[in-house]
Structure 1
Amino acid sequence: MGQEKLDYRKTFVLGLGFFSVSIVWPVYNSFVPIMLENYIKSTTLIGAVMTIDNLFAVIFQPIFGALSDKTNTRFGRRMPYLLIGVPLAAIFCSLIPSANSLPMLMTFVILMNFAMSIFRAPTVALMPDVTPSHLRSKANGVINFMGGLAAVIAYGLGGFLYKKGTAYPFYMSSIIMTMALILLYIFIKEPEIVEEKAKVKNKEKDIDKSKSLLFILFAIFFWFTGFNAVETFFSLYGQYELGIDPGKASMILTSFSLSFLIFAIPAGFVGTKLGRKKTILLGIVGALTVFTLLIFVKNISAMIVLLIIGGMFWAFININSYPMVVEMAPKGGVGTYTGYYYFFSSCAAIVSPILFGWIRDMAHSYKPLFIYSCIAFGAALFCMLFVKHGDFTNKNYTEEDLKFMKENI
């Protein structure tokens, strides 16, 4: 078992699910505000509309994740949600640029966001379903790499296509989503025997494991709180504190994202070798150190170097946290626990920009940005110290389960 290797070909195919999700949001976030501006003059209202995706993630992703655990069809547990959600999302995504009124635009935006919520948690839950526990950090590294690659394509190719026609980036996203679904349906076989044995062992309730779950979920909330503030306000921080234009500030922050993309797969190897908890703790301490230095560093070149290092540590955290959460799931509960993960990360995406916005208004300055981020990562570090479960153990799998996983991933 310890010598078993990840099948990268199938894992890349599996990553197409996350790729299809990640191709949509950069296009949506880049161009929908421009369309909304034709009807809404209030930036606050436009910002409120643009939080619908996170609001739906908090409400619907846990629901559909849990429902997929209980689903049993000839297409599998997760696949029915993809077969319904992806085509609907693709249709409504492609219709957004055709809207010629605010009610029509809002209808397509809301329906697309709802359709995306149907399949996101079940799609992510596919990975732990068909991947042995000790390979999940590596697999998650590949899948997040695919997501990062999708974002790069969406920003690069989407911007080029938008100049040719405002609808083209949306058509591109819809086509790629549909093609990814077809490939997933053809090449990924969902397990059946693992689920059927779940009901017997699901009844064991481990209080200590529940405490670990709660602490890691709050850790996830806090580190996304710190990250989302920097992601949201760094352009304004650059403009007002560094004296550079927002476009250049955005390019500086891109070094963080590119670093995450580069280190996504290596972070999975580190988590497998060192252990998930130790790798996450290393990542938090590293990120905390980087953001502490960024409180004082104003030199652009030095900031880029620090952000590249920070992207590496962010990969250590992000790649290994989801596998830790689903490792604690009872058999048959992976979709539910995937929903928990997205509930807490999405809550942070909603709360953090508002909270730091209030702090900025009180301070009349963007100087507290990295202090705020450090406090959030410090809280995440504190929570992680109490997490006692989530590293790989094969005791929950029968030989038959392991044989099936070995044959299918």
Structure 2
Amino acid sequence: MKLFYRIEVNMNKQLKLNYKNTFFIGLAFFAILMLWQVYNTYCPLILTDLLASTFGDDADRLTYVVGIIMAMDNLVALIIMPIFGTLSDKTNTRWGKRMPYILIGMLASALVFPFIAVFFIMDSLLGVIIIMGLVLIIMQGYRNPAVALMPDVTPKPLRSTANGIINLVGYIGAIIAGALAMVFKKNDANPNNLVYLWPFIISSVCMLAAMIILKIKINEPKLLAETKDDVELGEKLSQSIEEIKEDKPLSKKDFTNLIVILIAVFFWFMAFNAIETFNSVFCRKILGDEGIHGTFTIILTVSSIISFILFSSVANKIGRKWTIVIGLLLLIVGIGLMTLITFILKDVITSYVWVIYLFTVLIGIGWALVNINSYPMIVEMSNKTNVGKFTGYYYTASMIAQTATPILVGLIMSFNQAGLKLLYLYSFITMILALLVFIFVVERRDLNKKKEKKSILENLGDVDD
């Protein structure tokens, strides 16, 4: 099996990507996605139960309160992320500039995370809210440096490949979280709140294991030294419309592209995060089984991984822009069909869960094509001194969306008779808006040249989050 993926630069020089190191860097993303998925699965359920125990029958009209609580945590994270992105750009320690934030953040997250379930068992709404906020502050504090580490040590033409590997590692964490949601669920046979403690503990243990491996395997200063020449060469091979210089601002065309992409990112995260936030509650109240959300998560994740292999050549042939457009169209179709079945088969929907799983496959493929190509489009406009800042732009746009959308969709569902049935309709509309904005991105035509056929492993890396 080939260990390196190569791009021909000229007769005398090749760029190489080390799959092994990229995999280990991806362990930080593995931990983030796993904890994030457990958080998004259980926290809305926990908040819903705590509100019900406090307000009784009126809790159904308090869906927006769940959204507000989730959004306030994201609002705090929105402030933290750019700060730590810029701070890590300027950090210089014997561990490197990203690794101190990554390791400390992973350790702190793992120690604090289980207390969300502990306070739920204690029936403390305030305690749950405080710990949720603390967890998100810690996680967002190290998320930006974790994402920025890959571009620091990877030449620009190889970042799509590296990003695909990192996403693959991260999605393994999401699959584990989905399996936990299938196993550890409340129902008539097991109504005890204690069942929610286990997924939080297991996630924390996995995060600690990932942190230890990452510390042992990744020496950031050494990697920076080894990849210095290739990264500098990659600056000249950038996919930005014009070469980005350290002392020169973005060109007008690249600046316009940056703004358009960030607005599109905002809208598609508005759509997707609405589902992430309320889908577990949707499965409990509309489908009658919160465990279905776990199956939904696994299908969504596995279909995304499979799409890495089956559709990896699309970005090489038609460019990132049109790959993302195809992904958005698949998302619109999948979410649109979910909306139709929710309303048309509203009385017998529990008998058609398998149909929902088929639609989930479309959503998973579409989200993979969108998500894994968008971040590299942003950092292509950066230079080696401000990768963290541009990473902050990307995640700031996504976090603004994730701050606004739980409140907005929560209000819509709380004060409309259709309630949770409006969830997918909301996502359908906002995803269409994302497509209408993104279509205005201008991509360099010379990027769409035909490339040589590669092995499955190489194609897997070609798909770029």
Aligned to 1:399: none
**1:234-262 CA distances to partner (integer Å, 9 max, x unpaired)?**
5676788xx74254763674433432243
What's the offset of the Cα at 1:111?
Answer: 3.0
TM-score for both structures, normalised by structure 2: 0.71
Given the alignment, which residue of 228, 242, 257 partners 2:273? 228
SS in 2 for 1:2: strand
C-alpha distance in structure 1 between counterparts of 2:29 and 2:378, whole Å:
18
TM-score for both structures, normalised by structure 1: 0.80
Q: Does 1:2 align with 2:7?
A: yes
Aligned to 2:260: 215
Equivalenced residue count is 391
**1:5-60 CA distances to partner (integer Å, 9 max, x unpaired)?**
64332222111010111222333445556766569725645554444542233121
What's the offset of the Cα at 1:64?
Answer: 0.8
**1:299-349 CA distances to partner (integer Å, 9 max, x unpaired)?**
654443232123112111111111111111233111111112111112222
- The aligned runs of 1:340-359 (5 Å cut-off) are 340-359=393-412
SS in 1 for 2:92: coil
SS in 1 for 2:250: coil
Q: Does 1:26 align with 2:37?
A: yes
What's the offset of the Cα at 1:379?
Answer: 1.8
The worse-fitting range, judged by mean Cα deviation, of 97-106 and 170-179 is: 97-106
Given the alignment, which residue of 235, 250, 256 partners 2:293? 250
Given the alignment, which residue of 423, 431, 435 partners 1:377? 431
C-alpha distance in structure 2 between counterparts of 1:268 and 1:11, whole Å:
18
- The aligned runs of 1:49-60 (5 Å cut-off) are 49-60=69-80
Q: Is the 8 A contact 2:296 2:360 kept in 1?
A: yes
Q: Is the 8 A contact 1:62 1:339 kept in 2?
A: yes
Given the alignment, which residue of 7, 13, 22 partners 1:11? 22
SS in 1 for 2:83: helix
The worse-fitting range, judged by mean Cα deviation, of 370-379 and 163-172 is: 163-172
Identity of paired residues, percent? 38
The worse-fitting range, judged by mean Cα deviation, of 371-380 and 326-335 is: 371-380
C-alpha distance in structure 1 between counterparts of 2:73 and 2:304, whole Å:
23
Distance 1:55 1:301, change over 3 A: same
Aligned to 2:315: 271
Given the alignment, which residue of 139, 148, 172 partners 2:202? 172
**1:359-396 CA distances to partner (integer Å, 9 max, x unpaired)?**
44565325654443333222212222222258998xxx
C-alpha distance in structure 2 between counterparts of 1:202 and 1:372, whole Å:
43
Q: Is the 8 A contact 1:54 1:349 kept in 2?
A: yes
C-alpha distance in structure 2 between counterparts of 1:108 and 1:371, whole Å:
32
The worse-fitting range, judged by mean Cα deviation, of 257-266 and 213-222 is: 257-266
Aligned to 1:121: 144
C-alpha distance in structure 1 between counterparts of 2:79 and 2:42, whole Å:
25
Q: Is the 8 A contact 2:71 2:404 kept in 1?
A: no
- The aligned runs of 1:81-96 (5 Å cut-off) are 81-96=101-116
The worse-fitting range, judged by mean Cα deviation, of 278-287 and 362-371 is: 362-371
Distance 1:392 1:5, change over 3 A: farther
C-alpha distance in structure 2 between counterparts of 1:117 and 1:245, whole Å:
33
C-alpha distance in structure 2 between counterparts of 1:115 and 1:251, whole Å:
25
Query: Which amino acid counterpart does residue 33 of structure 2 have in structure 1?
Result: S
User: Please, what is the CA RMSD of the aligned residues?
Assistant: 3.7
The worse-fitting range, judged by mean Cα deviation, of 299-308 and 275-284 is: 299-308
What's the offset of the Cα at 1:208?
Answer: 1.6
Query: Which amino acid counterpart does residue 82 of structure 1 have in structure 2?
Result: I
Query: Which amino acid counterpart does residue 93 of structure 1 have in structure 2?
Result: F
Q: Is the 8 A contact 1:221 1:344 kept in 2?
A: yes
Q: Does 1:41 align with 2:84?
A: no
SS in 1 for 2:158: helix
Unaligned runs of 5+ residues in structure 2 are 1-5, 9-14, 186-191, 236-243, 346-351, 448-465
Query: Which amino acid counterpart does residue 2 of structure 1 have in structure 2?
Result: I
C-alpha distance in structure 2 between counterparts of 1:87 and 1:184, whole Å:
12
Aligned to 1:61: 81
Distance 1:310 1:83, change over 3 A: closer
The worse-fitting range, judged by mean Cα deviation, of 132-141 and 369-378 is: 369-378
Given the alignment, which residue of 58, 62, 72 partners 2:92? 72
Distance 1:83 1:220, change over 3 A: same
Distance 1:322 1:200, change over 3 A: closer
C-alpha distance in structure 1 between counterparts of 2:313 and 2:175, whole Å:
23
SS in 1 for 2:322: helix
Given the alignment, which residue of 345, 352, 372 partners 1:319? 372
What's the offset of the Cα at 1:219?
Answer: 0.5
Q: Does 1:140 align with 2:163?
A: yes
